[in-house]
Structure 1
Amino acid sequence: GSTSSVNTGPNSAFEGSNYAYIEVSGQSNEDKASLVSDILFEGSVYCLSFAYHMYGKEGYMGDLVVGTGTSSTGSVIDNVLLSKTGNKGNVWYTAAINFSGSTGRKLIISASKGFTLHGDIAIDDLTIHQGTCSNSVDPCYSQPCNMGGTCSSTGGTFSCDCNQGYLENDCSVIDKSNSDNFLCDYEADTNCIFNNVEGDDLDWRPIQGSTPSSSTGPTAAASGTKYTYLEASLPSAKDDVAVMDTTKYKLPSGAFCLSFSFHMLGNPGSLVVSAGERNGNMNSILTRTGDHGDLWQQTQTTIIPYDDLVISVRGIRGSSWQGDIALDNILLTKGPCSNIDPCGQSPCVNGGQCSPNYNDGTFTCSCTSGWVGDTCQLQDVTTGITFTCEFTPGENECVFTNTQTGDDFDWTLTNVKTLSSSTGPDVAYSGEYYAFTEASSPRQPGDVATFTSSTFKLPDSPLCMQYHYHMYSEPGSLVITAGERGNSENQIEIWTGNQGEQWHSSIVQIPQFSDAVISIQGVRGPTSKGDIGLDLITLQKGLCSSPCGSFPCQNGGICTGNQDGTYQCSCKSEFTGSECQLTDKRLETSIACDFEDNEVGCIFENSLSYDDFDWRRRT
């Protein structure tokens, strides 16, 4: 009878009442099932004949591969005899293959799940005999006519009488010549005119939610819940290509407007759309390359008339695994583009004004003062000299924020001790507030919280960075990385494990990048006693070897270096001294120390040297 899933698998056996099949429901994408012969074939030539059935969702079914391997390769095929992929219609096909067993070979039949629940693959009536397959086999024996077409043979050749709606010599092309509009929104489990092709390196995959990799790919579809994407993680490599095209469909003649939404964040390669005649040369009509920000963008292009149009979409993997490319809402409409507004989704943010280019479906953003980027998404601080993060609520000088994607949890701001005992700081290093990673449940070992400067456009110069950290008991790691926007970041510094129950200071040099992004990662350790504290981060334009490189100006003071190797500090209004080290109380008539409110306002503090232990405040 039928397999347990609808719209896939055979209704009955090829012969008799039973057959073998893979049930893809409940399996992960690209899972594989293999039949391996329990004997080695020893002999010169054998003939394998069998029937196979591959019926399901067009473009998303898996593969059927028949081949041989040695006794040491397990179920790995090292000599492919036959490979079939995709939907072949609700019909049984037959195949006859010669193979050699001269060195002792196992016969292996492998079937895989693609990217759909409608992808059951079946085999039946498998026979093996020594000697070659008969040369006098009827050319219709292999049932070359797809989608239920009727085969007839004359003089060793065959011809197909195709069912209504199918074309070409083998009935493999679906006739859509009378349709005007085609939509691939990946919501319903229906056939899209764009399907993965054989012979490329990667597949386009349908997905719901975020892609698996951090700092790349969208977190949701452009509309609805599903979209398709190219996964750039291993085992994919630089310049690997994923191709989907319309070769399975006969499209109408005339001009078309192709529009779609795309998402290219991180370090993607290129997205290339081409069009041309079936079996002819393809002409590139639209290309997008590199990082386009963490947002869906819409584009369109007019396709000139062809007699038998084929459109292909190629995703080319970039140099990094953080290069997922995603597509959604692919719409092909008869007639040239005229009424799709590239500014329709208001891509320009932070008050930017959008100007559409209807010729190629692109747009240009005119940003308001203080904002830059393709969509005005970056705060422009390129003219700044010093940037300070004291984590006081409402401060506007900090260039580090919690990243919105790609990590597991956020840094938290507090002005009291962390909740866990025997870990974390009791008070801030400077001021009242500090940031920390909370290692308690539901956090797991290896979870990461990331501060990033990615929402700011930093100065195009070397940067000297000072920060203060607290790692007590069983923390994981604190990692500083930096790099060009859109590329992989390089590790600058790392601290791991217990560093004692006190605040530490570190100064690191950030190399010059044309568009620098700096990240601070807190990695959760093996237990809940692993809170990591972070406070008073200062970024200063220039080299750490400069007069200001030792960060002599305290309490947010701005340092200016002199040619003679000295420096001057410009202090905030409430501080004074050559290095802004003193709280300015000169205008106050009375000063009280009642030790309430964590000693705020008291002019007495514990000495950092010359004594043996500290005074403590107690409730």
Structure 2
Amino acid sequence: AQGQNLNCTFDTNLCSWTQLRNDNSDWKLKRGSTTTANTGPTRDHTSGNGQYIYFETSQGASGSKAQLSSPQFTVPRRPPSCFSFWYHMYGDSVNNLNVYLKSGNTLGKPVFTKHGNQGNKWIQAKINIRNKNNIKVVLEAVKGRGFRGDIAIDDVMYTSGIRCPQNTAPGNTGNTSITCNFEDDALCGYKQLTNDNFDWSRTTGTTSTRGTGPSSDHTYGTSKGHYMFIEATGKRRNQKARLMSPRTTTLGDKCLRFYYNMHGSNIGKLNVYAQANNVLGSAIWSMTAEQGQDWRLAQVTVRRRGNRRYNIVFEGARGNSDAGDIALDDVSIIPGRCPALGSCNFEKDFCGWTNVASDDFDWRRNHGPTSSTGTGPPNDHTLGNTKGTYIYIETSAPRVINDKAQLRSETFPNNNGNKCLQFWYNMLGSQVGKLNVYIVQNDIKTLKWTLNGQQSGTWNLGRLPVPRVKNSFSFLLEGVRGTGVRGDIAIDDITVTNTRCTLSPSTAVASNQGSTTPTQATTLGTTKTPTNGRTVGCSFDAGFCGWTQLRNDQFDWSRKRGRTSSGGTGPSRDHTSGTGYYIYTEASAKTMNQTARLQSVPVKPTRSSSSSCLSFWYHMYGPQIGGLNVYIQLGASMGSPIWTKKGTQGNKWINAKITVSQTRQYSIIMEGVIGNGYRGDVALDDVALTNGACTGQTSAPGTVTTIPPSGGTVRSCDFENRNLCRYTQDKTDKFDWIRQAGTTSSTNTGPSSDHTYGTGRGHYMFIEASAPRKRGDMARLISPRYVDRQDMCVQFYYHMYGTGIGTLNVYAK
């Protein structure tokens, strides 16, 4: 077969496509809407009244899959052949759509992937396939954490020996030659200019330098897709590379859209020009410095220049070091002006605002009332009727308390003057949670505006003044789910103006003005230590953030979604969301005591605090687990571990917290050690670094924090904090408990290290039995006072070693 039997509209059946049997579910034929509201299409793509196929997510566990296979076919050597299809991914629980090229029994890695809500619309995907013998295309849908996650496909087509046309970038409707996703070897007619210092390069996957550039392209979202980038290695500071588009074919104002990646500790500058009559002119758009690991959307209006036609020129300037690769993908240009930066009435789409990939659920567009009674607005703010559109968070099942939905604006190049963010919000409902507004700058987010609970009025005006700032920034809107389904929060008519304003309402002031660093630009975590834009904090959903593989070990840490490849070891899902990524050490085909080391970016202690709290979640499950060590490296020496765990810790994610006290720059090293077999995978997730010592009032490392059904909380102390978590010495006893690190002062008694860290750096409490103590002397340590309405479980670790050990008693006073 030459591929012609891959074509299918699904109007009558699956054509020559077949359901695979090694999955959990099947694709289904459907006409009209799917069975679940607020997800899936309302009609097919072909005619509007035909059929399509879809993956039904009302049943099945998170991570379950449905796979559909094409017949076997062969792709000619040259030129590439085009496989295209239309997909629909709408709903706040949408997970993944993957496309594989299966050879024999090997599925391999996806050649195309999309994750999360893509809007209530059909979108075309095109994949160039090169020189493959006896392959099958496999379409795979993966279920997320809820039932509003239906994924649909229609109008599959394969064209042998013809490259996919470049008339449309995914999700756009541009029809000029400037539009390009760089899958074409001819670059859609783009040319390297000669009045620069070096050329742009075309690549797939990562760039050749660690710690900079994207992990995949934007079009396909996999290592098979192509993008353009500037290679900073071997270049000098401020050297430039220029890439010029074909000339425009129509007149009038245009909106230029493109995706860029500026990730690295020494990013230079990306400039965009509209060159007319061979005159470059002034830049119409510029961006500098680290912008995070993800692809960011940029939009800029190119105004009509009389009757002159022009070329778009992308200019990348090299920064201070090799960690300065800048990437470009999915360029398009459409008639009319772009929406004002940051402004949106949501009547057509989200404008330049994007849902954050690694939060709990998405903001969605809606008109009329929401699906729950007693909450949400009756109509939008723009038109004031049920035909107008706004955005909101849907708090019905499967949402739970404190689930977060985050929406991020485009990046503002800088703020030379005052700005004002203005928006209209609706927070009607007896179970409304919280609405937060952050400013994200240098990959650090700072809470600036917050409201909690029900607010009277259908639509209320919110304002946030933005003072002058030196660096680029963006806004982040965060809706937090409250205690129940009557907690929908809505927003409409966002505008950003170059004017002064006052905070509105006055009660929206953020009591905690601390900054937090995101794990990547669109996965906002909780780390407070900015390090030139790269971060210690990481959920690993979009890459390794600021962490790099060391070379003084025997193998590398790997990123993984779902189960590891060996049974009886490793986690079944990540800690962050249950559907994202974690990192782990693969124990198969390794020998005992081999190590994998991962190093953070350098951390420079702040003037206000020399102590920081390193938090991470680890998973050590399997009968052949080796160890996990944490080091603080000063200079060239790793020194001894400050924290260590050995052996299996159970099939669960466990939180560890370590207080790091340093006055000079350091880096953190995570070391996984192989045990005596392949069932020894060690995993890490959700690393964070915050200013100040760990409090000790949260889950102690080695325990699991739970909230009892009746609403109680876990209280714990690891004694790493000098205030002992408010434990006090009893003044009616004979002597006091002592806080200690390492061994006690007497030989042949006491521990060699604490239990929390497992090293000489961690602290514990002990009684010193040496003189002047005598037999029967007592030392009592009293916890804070608790009030409970249920039975509680007290858990602690004790050490009683020595020939003259007395008695340890516990009382409920």
- State the TM-score bracket (shorter-chain normalisation): 0.3 to 0.5
- Computing the radius of gyration from Cα coordinates, the structure with the larger value is 1
Considering Cα pairs closer than 8 Å and 6+ residues apart, tell me whether 1 or 2 has the greater RCO.
1
- Which structure shows the higher strand fraction? 1
